[in-house]
């Protein structure tokens, strides 16, 4: 790990040109946790995150982008594996402005329509006449690489949309995913973004499960700017039998909720008031309504943020959850700050949750974090040390220290 960090620091002298950009984050953590069945567990892991971008999208048609992480345990009794890691994405991208085409080859993210996948394969998107855009992808789902091997795993889909600048965009999308040759996921969806008079906008999406023949998800949000005030009412609905996949697919860790026949509706609004350049106020209301079990709940929250200088800010949040279940009846208070004293900076965050009724013998949950750091080399290198403490009904006396180094090479 030290060798990797040294090489990253030495790269400015080893690599010429401005086409290479590296972002490195190295974290050394130490924590102790008291679990109900395993008190006094200690860990000393080192995490390395590395992002690589090669090529200039404005000047070059072909670029490379990669991001991955690795963890090494220096000695602990918490993690089962000593060393682990993963390439989150790594792909070649071809961007041709003259052809209005973008293509990717490798491991990449797809966030379009019903797709929210990491794919090992091919991706293409093209701008067509009359405001049409067509995109498609095909390959193997990275999330299933450790589930009974990769034989028979595949995913493909795409999206077609039509838009008129400053007026609207509507899209239709499709996705199918298989694990070991079985058709585990089969979705189609509709999404839209509409600009209305007075800078009002409406956006939303609906997802249909073609395998279970039912609507899995709806989400719609209206944005109403009223001078310094902006109000955002929203509505969400989930049908568990259609949203969660009842298969061995590891891409859906909550598949046990499928088959329960339950539904969840979330409705409410967010409001943001920009008093001036320094003071921002926000209010949140959410109503949760389950079709079966869990009961209903209402959440209210008020947030105030005061900004100083350019980056410094102080904030406070007060919230209340009132629900039918004991775990859904609590009050929340939070305070946080970021103080910029270049080249030094200090951060702090504290959260208190007070339950109306005790959970596992505890009626409160605490979290507190204090950190400080300094920037070097024009903020290309930042070092930060933080101390965190938490105590809640599920974890007793959780202490954690983190020493982090963030380094940026390139423009």
Q: Is 60 exceeded by the pLDDT of residue 83?
A: yes
Query: Do the beta carbons of residue 165 and residue 105 sit within 8 Å?
Result: no
DSSP at 153: -
Q: Is residue 74 part of a domain?
A: no
Q: Is residue 173 part of a domain?
A: yes
Q: Which of 65, 44, 43, 45 is nearest to 56 (CA)?
A: 65
pLDDT at residue 179 in the model: 81
pLDDT at residue 149 in the model: 62
Average pLDDT of the residues in 240-244: 88
Which of the four pLDDT bands, split at 50, 70 and 90, describes residue 151? confident
> What is the per-residue pLDDT across 294-340, written as a single tens digit (0 to 9) for each?
789 999 999 999 998 778 999 999 999 999 888 889 999 999 999 99
Residue 15 neighbours by CB under 8 Å, 6+ apart: none
Q: Is residue 75 part of a domain?
A: no
Q: Which of 27, 80, 1, 37 is nearest to 400 (CA)?
A: 27
Q: Is 50 exceeded by the pLDDT of residue 166?
A: yes
Q: Which of 205, 203, 202 is nearest to 112 (CA)?
A: 205
Rounded CA separation 209/264 (Å) = 16
β-pairing, 62-73 vs 45-54, is: antiparallel
What is the separation, in whole angstroms, between the first and last Cα of the chain?
Answer: 25
Q: Which of 14, 69, 72, 84 is nearest to 46 (CA)?
A: 72
Average pLDDT of the chain is 87
Instruction: State how many domains the chain has.
Output: 1
Average pLDDT of the residues in 218-226: 97
Q: Is 80 exceeded by the pLDDT of residue 227?
A: yes
Put residue 47 in one of left, alpha, beta given phi > 0 → left and psi -120 to 50 → alpha.
beta
Residue 212 neighbours by CB under 8 Å, 6+ apart: 241, 242
Give CA angle at 236 (235, 238), nearest 5°: 155
Q: Is residue 4 part of a domain?
A: no
Query: Do the beta carbons of residue 75 and residue 43 sit within 8 Å?
Result: no
- Token pair for 380: 């290309």
Query: Do the beta carbons of residue 94 and residue 102 sit within 8 Å?
Result: yes
Which of the four pLDDT bands, split at 50, 70 and 90, describes residue 348? very high
pLDDT at residue 282 in the model: 98
Which of the four pLDDT bands, split at 50, 70 and 90, describes residue 43? confident
> What is the per-residue pLDDT across 182-211, written as a single tens digit (0 to 9) for each?
668 899 999 999 999 999 999 999 999 999
Question: Which residue range(s) make up the domain with 242?
Answer: 99-259
Residue 116 neighbours by CB under 8 Å, 6+ apart: 110
Q: Which of 187, 169, 170 is nearest to 178 (CA)?
A: 187
> What is the per-residue pLDDT across 168-177, written as a single tens digit (0 to 9) for each?
999 999 999 9
C-beta neighbour count of 329 within 10 angstroms: 16
pLDDT at residue 194 in the model: 97
Q: Is 50 exceeded by the pLDDT of residue 178?
A: yes
Residue 97 neighbours by CB under 8 Å, 6+ apart: none
SS3 68: strand
Q: Is residue 90 part of a domain?
A: no
Q: Which of 109, 266, 114 is nearest to 190 (CA)?
A: 114
Which of the four pLDDT bands, split at 50, 70 and 90, describes residue 250? very low
Q: Is residue 390 part of a domain?
A: no
Q: Which residue has the higher pLDDT, 279 or 343?
A: 279
Average pLDDT of the residues in 378-386: 92
Q: Which of 196, 205, 199 is nearest to 230 (CA)?
A: 199
Residue with tokens 């380094």: 407
């Amino acid at each position: 790990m030290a060798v990797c960090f040294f090489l990253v620091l030495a790269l400015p002298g080893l690599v010429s040109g401005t086409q290479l950009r590296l972002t490195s984050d190295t974290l050394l953590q130490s924590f102790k946790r008291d679990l109900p069945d395993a008190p006094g567990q200690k860990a000393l892991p080192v995490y390395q995150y590395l992002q690589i971008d090669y090529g200039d999208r404005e000047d070059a048609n072909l670029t490379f982008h990669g991001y991955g992480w690795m963890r090494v345990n220096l000695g602990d009794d918490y993690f089962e594996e000593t060393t682990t890691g993963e390439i989150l994405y790594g792909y070649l991208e071809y961007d041709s402005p003259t052809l209005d085409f973008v293509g990717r080859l490798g491991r990449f993210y797809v966030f379009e329509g019903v797709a929210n996948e990491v794919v090992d394969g091919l991706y293409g998107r093209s701008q067509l006449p009359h405001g049409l855009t067509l995109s498609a992808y095909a390959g193997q789902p990275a999330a299933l690489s450790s589930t009974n091997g990769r034989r028979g795993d595949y995913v493909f889909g795409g999206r077609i949309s039509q838009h008129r600048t400053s007026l609207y965009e509507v899209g239709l999308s499709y996705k199918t995913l298989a694990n070991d040759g079985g058709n585990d996921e089969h979705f189609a969806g509709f999404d839209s973004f509409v600009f209305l008079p007075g800078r009002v906008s409406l956006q939303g999406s609906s997802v249909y499960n073609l395998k279970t023949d039912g609507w899995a998800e709806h989400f719609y949000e209206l944005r109403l700017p009223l001078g310094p005030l902006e109000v955002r009412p929203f509505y969400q609905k989930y049908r568990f039998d259609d949203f969660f996949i009842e298969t061995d697919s590891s891409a859906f860790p909550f598949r046990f909720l499928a088959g329960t026949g339950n539904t969840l509706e979330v409705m409410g609004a967010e409001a943001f008031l920009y008093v001036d350049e320094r003071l921002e106020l926000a209010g949140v209301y959410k109503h949760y309504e389950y079709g079966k079990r869990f009961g209903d709940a209402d959440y209210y929250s008020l947030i105030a943020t005061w900004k100083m200088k350019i980056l410094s800010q102080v904030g406070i949040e007060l919230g209340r959850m009132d629900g039918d279940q004991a775990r859904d009846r609590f009050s929340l208070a939070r305070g946080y700050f970021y103080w910029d004293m270049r080249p030094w900076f200090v951060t702090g965050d504290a959260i208190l949750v007070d339950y109306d009724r005790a959970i596992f013998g505890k009626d409160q949950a605490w979290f507190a974090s204090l950190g400080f750091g300094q920037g070097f080399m024009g903020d290309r290198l930042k070092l930060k040390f933080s101390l965190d403490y938490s105590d809640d009904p599920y974890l007793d006396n959780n202490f954690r220290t983190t020493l982090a180094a963030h380094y940026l090479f390139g423009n």
